[in-house]
Amino acid sequence: MADKIELTINGQLVTADKGMTILEAALSKGMYIPHLCHHRELEPVGACRLCLVEIDGKWKKTVISCKTEAKEGMVVQTETPEISEIRQATVELLIADHDVDCLACGQNTRCALQRVADHVGLNKKRLQRLKPPEKKLPIDDSNPFFNFDPNQCVLCGICVRTCDELQNVQAIDYAYRGLGTKIAGFGDKLRIESSCESCGECIVRCPVGALTEKDSPKPTHQVKTVCSFCGCGCGLLLGVRDNRIVSAQGNVNSPANKGRLCVKGRFGYKFVNHPDRLTSPLIKRNGEFVKADWDEALDLVTDTFSKNKGEKFAAIASAKATNEDNYILQKFTRAVMGTNNIDHCARL
């Protein structure tokens, strides 16, 4: 159990784990401090400057709460007139440089910038005065699974840190300076030409609509299951809509992957509803496959199997199928067909 400390935030006594930042201490008690670049899994960088707070007493000063450790006895104010003023200006500058087309944005209703703006409160007139001339940057849609829209980007750097700290891929970073700053791959080439591995972990963490998955209708519900590609056994939440799989999300409660996924886990489910799926039994007649119903196909198979019991029979099992499927297949081979001729790809 972590050591505890006590501090006061907005007049309320708050208990926090030793080592927490002021922002974490506040958020852990459900107290909102506006923020964009904070992510619980990433090192704080203090890029967005929105989480400013004022500390009274011996520490008296204005600090960014995401990089300031909460200390015993601290007295913190998150909403003084001075802070509100600074924050207002910061948000206005962000919004002025943002493509505010919320209803058509993939992150609508889940957007951290919407929440910040809602909390701070925007003045339309002031915003209009700040609005720079319309200069839309091209959307990078080169990756088959996601788009990057720099016009929606708030330069929080969460994607950059995810790619570095969590994935160790380092495919993207800040490029250029000042107003021209943007997130880019090496040489500012298209994402598809970068060293990006398309794991999609940055999309999951993007607080705004800058990184969005392509063709991703929202699921009506999710089903907890396990990925079917490699032996990692990552926990998946498959999104379902109209009896089709439309999304996959890492299950943070799964001990194997703790919510993280690779490109196959996140996007590879798309084979499930592929039009080439086999949908009925097929029997080869005169070299051509002909559709059959189950009874016909099963009768034909059992008729032939019954004549080839024992060492004339073998089964190859599938390392893709479930334990239950495999248990039944080996039981069938041994108990019904009378042979131990069963193996699968384990030794390949």
Partner 1 sequence: MAGLAASLGSGAMTNAISELGSASAILAIGTNTTATHPIVALQVKDAVRNGSKLIVANPKEIELCRFADVFLQHKPGTDVPLLMGMMRVIVEEGLHDKSFIESRCEDFNASEKSLAEFDLNTVEKITGVPQDKIIQAARIYATETPASIIYCMGITQHVQGTDNVLAISNLALLTGNIGKPSSGVNPLRGQNNVQGACDMGCLPNVYPGYQAVTSPEAKAKFESAWGVALSDTAGLTHTKIFDACYEGTIKALYLVGENPVLSEADASHAIEAMKKVDFLVVQDIFMTETAELADVVLPAVTFAEKDGTFTNTERRVQRVRKAIASVGDAKSDWWITCQLAKRLKGKGFDFSSSAEIMEEISTLTPSYKGITYTRLEKGSLQWPCPSEDHSGTPFLHAEKFGTDSGKGKFKPLTYRKSAEVTDSEYPILLTTDRSLYHYHSTMTRRVYGLNVLNNEELMNIHPEDASVLGIEDGQMVKVVSRRGEVEVKALVTENCPQGTVSMTFHFFETPTNVLTCCELDPVANTPTTKVCAVRIEGLNS
Q: Name 250's bridge partners.
A: 236
Taking the least distance from each CB to partner 1, the nearer of 61 and 277 is 277
Q: Which SS3 state, helix, strand or coil, does residue 16 take? A: strand
Q: Residue 61 half-sphere exposure, CB side, CA atoms within 13 Å?
A: 6
252 belongs to the binding site for partner 1 (CB under 8 A): no
Axis-axis angle for helices 81-96, 112-120 (nearest 10)? 140
Taking the least distance from each CB to partner 1, the nearer of 126 and 312 is 312
128 belongs to the binding site for partner 1 (CB under 8 A): no
And the tokens for 105? 């944005």
Q: Which stretch binds partner 1 (CB under 8 A): 19-27, 91-99, 111-119, 271-279?
A: 271-279
Among 9, 117, 235, 249, binds partner 1 (CB under 8 A): 235
Stretch 141-180 residues interacting with partner 1 (CB under 8 A): 143-145, 165-168
Confirm if 240 and 246 have CB atoms less than 8 A apart: yes
Q: Name 61's bridge partners.
A: 55
Q: What is the residue whose two structure tokens read 């951290």?
A: 112
For residue 191, the minimal CB distance to partner 1 (Å) is 11
Q: Which stretch binds partner 1 (CB under 8 A): 32-40, 51-59, 67-75, 140-148?
A: 140-148
Taking the least distance from each CB to partner 1, the nearer of 202 and 234 is 234
And the tokens for 324? 């239950």
Q: What is the residue whose two structure tokens read 């002031």?
A: 126
Distance separating alpha carbons of residues 222 and 211, to the nearest angstrom = 22
319 belongs to the binding site for partner 1 (CB under 8 A): yes
326 belongs to the binding site for partner 1 (CB under 8 A): yes
Confirm if 186 and 195 have CB atoms less than 8 A apart: yes
User: Would you give the binding string for partner 1 spanning residues 186-205, x where CB under 8 A is met?
Assistant: ------x----xxx------
Confirm if 234 and 252 have CB atoms less than 8 A apart: no
Q: Which stretch binds partner 1 (CB under 8 A): 95-103, 106-114, 122-130, 280-288?
A: 280-288
Confirm if 81 and 51 have CB atoms less than 8 A apart: no
For residue 45, the minimal CB distance to partner 1 (Å) is 17
Taking the least distance from each CB to partner 1, the nearer of 9 and 227 is 227
For residue 198, the minimal CB distance to partner 1 (Å) is 6
243 belongs to the binding site for partner 1 (CB under 8 A): yes
